[in-house]
Amino acid sequence: MSGHKDTMTDRERVLALLDYKKPDRVPIWPFAYQGFACVYTGTSIADAYNKPKISYEAQKKTCADFGWVFTPMLGYAAYGGWELGGEIKWPSGEFAQAPTVLRHPVETPDDVMALEVPDVKTAGIVPLLKEFYDISSKEMLPNEPFNVMAFGANMSFTLAGNISGPDKLCKWMLKKPEAAHRLLQLANEHIIKLAEYWKDLYGVDGVLPLGGEPTSANQLISPANFEKFAMPYIAEVNQKFLDMGYKHLYAHICGEHNANLPFWARIPQGNPGIISIAQEIEISKAGETFPNDIILGNINPAIIQTGSPDEVYEATKKNVEDGMALSNGYVFSPGCEMPPMAPVENIRAMSQAVFDHGWY
Amino acid sequence: MASEERTSEILDKLRQAVYDFEEDDAVKWAKTALEEGVDPFVATLEGLATGMIEAGEAYNRKEYFVPELLMCADALYAGLDVLKPAIDASGRTAEVKGSIVLGVVEGDVHDIGKNLVKMMFEVAGWTVYDLGKDVPLDKFVEEQLRTDSDVVGLSALMTTSMLAMPEVIKRIRAKNPKVRILLGGAPINPEIADKYGADGYAKTAGTAVDEAINLLKMLKEEEGRK
């Protein structure tokens, strides 16, 4: 035990960081929005996505039990496949983690050119997102810096890939660039309508626009194609959010984006932005790349799942030491979604390491 | 019958067509190869497949990424479509280097990596039994037994689906302890592969074939010592 005593709530800690001040200790932003919270509270992973009330209560209880920042969240990485006219499958069975696209809205470049963005209010999961945000916006708890995590920023390229399937977007970038660009324009058209819808419903105070970019990682595309096809579209959407009055945006830079970082640095994220980095990116490198932003990261989720409690504790301690050495604001977080099936004793070890070593 | 010099030129055009992911050129030069009497086996192995191997090397050097490899594969298969009838008609069969059962485990539909691995094995002369994605665990066991394959390759991208891997490995080992098992996918690393009881780990599609060959060599050495 560290012998330190909390002098701030988690809400106050994050608000201090957003004001470029150091909190009493490192907050834990758990990236356990859906799957882990629902498994921990005894419901199903599918409930995390399609039963907003259950999902919200599961996240609230989980964050309270473990002493985490509560950022109520509903959304999924395959977003766009259903919303632009295709079909998804809810997670089922022992090993599924999230909804997946069963049928993409487009198959050919001609389909792309003919596609129109449907009414955002009834598109795919949007009615469920609204139901979730309606619940979350009604209270602001002491561990809650934002009560609406509005889906839409920092996800243009991944959304476009979900409309066509990432393999087709990859090929069209090289051989049918007009189709790739049109797909990205459609993605942005949808997101901007979504952003306007969220603002009409919830305003901007207490709202954090967010999204993630797994499909534009260098495990898939080159930095040159990130600069050409991902950066301008993400930047366009983010600037729209900021112009609408949102102060901070959240980006989950998902996967191995090291060669893309110079381009990420040119994408507006607010003052400060909140940058969640994957385990493939060094914390110090993230700090240098985003000197004015808050860095969230970045213990490897696989360690939380497969390591021993001692290994998880040591990996967390190292991560916290690296993060606290930054001049940036720093929040401890996994590098990607908390494994839904992670052993609870590992989760406790992770949290304890922050409680023991995260004091300023 | 093309001269040696002309044959060399055609093979180089085939190789280049694949490397530059020019599907139309791959078809054109495959047709030229047949018209001018180039052995379709040679056109495949020393032309198309060589281009794909070079593309895999460019991928390992981070000069090519997945889009480039996917397009190279399209050019490769377009050229093969032209050459394959002639290969079949010749009655000759290529030397098979090994056989592998491949699939993305149950609960996971992310198959781009698995498809690239499949293509690299095919180019390297392996017989590939591709089970696709979201594959029920027992299907891997059944397919390995049915085909008597040397290696089983399992892929997973999610932290939930990776949990299926040790269970598949256990079931395969129970039926056939000699099979070599190779893991790949974003959440996997060598330590986890070892912990799960696999024999090898491939970080990329480009390294999967080499890893599988090493596993087979180890298997043969073990058998030689018995």
Q: Quick: pLDDT tens for A170-220.
A: 999 999 999 999 999 999 999 999 999 999 999 999 999 999 999 999 999
* Under 8 Å between Cβ of B188 and A300: no
Please list every residue in chain B whose beta carbon sits closer than 8 Å to the beta carbon of residue A301. Answer: 159, 187
Residue A163's pLDDT band, with cuts at 50, 70 and 90, is very high
Preceding peptide of A319 cis, ω within 30°: no
Residue B9 DSSP label = H
Q: What is the CATH number of the domain that holds B202?
A: 3.40.50.280
- Interface contacts (A, B; CB < 8 Å): 91
The CATH number of residue A86's host domain is 3.20.20.210
> Distance between CA atoms of A199 and B184, rounded to whole angstroms?
42
So what's the pLDDT on residue A189? 98
Residue A17 lies in a domain: yes
Do B104 and B163 sit in the same domain of this protein? yes
A chain contacts of residue B192, beta-carbon cutoff 8 Å: 302, 306
**Domain end (from B22, B57, B90):** B90
- Within a domain: A31: yes
Whole domain around residue B164: which residue ranges? Answer: 99-225
Judgement on whether residues B80 and B167 belong to the same structural domain of the protein? no
Low-confidence ranges of chain B (pLDDT < 70): 223, 226
Nearest alpha-carbon partner for B197 in B152, B161, B138, B148: B152
Q: What would the pLDDT profile of A3-18 be if each residue is shown by its tens digit?
A: 889 999 999 999 999 9
Q: Are A248 and A274 in contact (CB under 8 A)?
A: yes
Residue B141 sits in the same domain as residue B183: yes
Quote the pLDDT of residue B206.
73
Same domain, B122 and B75: no
In a domain, A231, yes or no: yes
- pLDDT digit string, tens, across residues A238-286: 999 999 999 999 999 999 999 999 999 999 999 999 999 999 999 999 9
Name residues whose C-beta falls within 8 Å of residue A183's C-beta, 6 or more positions apart in sequence: A106, A112, A160, A163, A164, A169, A172
- Please check whether residues B143 and B75 belong to one and the same domain: no
Number of domains in chain A: 1
What is the token pair recorded at B127? 């017989």
CB atoms within 10 A of CB A134: 15
Alpha-helical runs (H) found in chain B: 4-19, 23-35, 40-42, 49-60, 66-90, 112-123, 137-147, 164-175, 190-195, 205-225
Structural domain boundaries, residue A135? 10-357
Q: Long-range CB contacts (< 8 A, 24+ apart) of A173-179?
A: A173/A221, A173/A225, A173/A228, A173/A229, A173/B67, A174/B21, A174/B67, A174/B68, A174/B71, A175/B21, A175/B71, A176/A109, A178/A109, A179/A109, A179/A112, A179/A113
Q: Which of B48, B66, B90 is the last residue of a domain?
A: B90
At residue B226, the pLDDT reads 64
The C-alpha atoms of residue A137 and residue A206 are separated, in whole angstroms, by 8
Q: Are residues B82 and B185 in the same domain?
A: no
Examine the domain organization and report whether B134 and B170 are in the same domain. Answer: yes
Q: What is the pLDDT of residues A90-138, one digit of tens each?
A: 998 888 888 999 999 999 999 999 999 999 999 999 999 999 999 999 9
Please provide residue A275's backbone torsions phi and psi, each rounded to the nearest 5 degrees.
-110, 110
CATH of the domain at B56: 1.10.1240.10
Q: CA separation (Å) from B131 to A170, A254, B147, B185, B215?
A: 23, 28, 12, 16, 21
A302·B67 Cβ contact <8 A: no
Asked if A302 and B106 come within 8 Å (Cβ–Cβ), the reply is: no
CB contacts, 8 Å: A165 with chain B:
none
**Both B132 and B209 in a single domain?**
yes
> Does residue A78 sit within a domain?
yes
Contact B26, B11 (CB under 8 A): no
Does any CB of chain B come closer than 8 Å to the CB of residue A222? yes
CA atoms of A125 and A132, how far apart (whole Å): 11
Question: Last residue of a domain, which of B70, B90, B110?
Answer: B90
Q: Are A173 and B195 in contact (CB < 8 Å)? A: no
Shared domain for B116 and B69, answered yes or no, is no
In the predicted model, what is the mean pLDDT of chain A?
96
Residue B5 CA, distance from chain mean position: 31
CB contact under 8 A, B158 and A220: no
Task: Give me the pLDDT at residue B213, please.
Answer: 81
- Kindly state whether residue A1 falls inside one of the protein's structural domains: no
Q: Is residue A333 part of a domain?
A: yes
**Are B86 and B124 found together in one domain?**
no
Same domain, B134 and B40: no
Which chain A residues are closer than 8 Å to B68 by Cβ?
Answer: 174, 222
A residues 235..274 contacting B (CB < 8 A): 255, 259
Question: Mutation test of the interface with chain B: which of A31, A306, A336, A341, choosing the one with the most B Cβ atoms within 10 A?
Answer: A306
* Encoded amino acid at A129, one letter: L
- How near does any CA of chain B get to the CA of A161, in Å? 12
The answer as to whether A5 is a domain residue is: no
pLDDT, one tens digit per residue, over A287-299 is: 999 999 999 999 9
Is a pLDDT exceeding 80 seen at residue A231?
yes
Cα radius of gyration (chain A): 19
Residues in A closer than 8 angstroms to B187, CB to CB, are: 301-302
Q: Is A2 inside any structural domain?
A: no
* Predicted pLDDT at B220: 72
pLDDT in the model for residue B222: 74
B85 lies in the same domain as B104: no
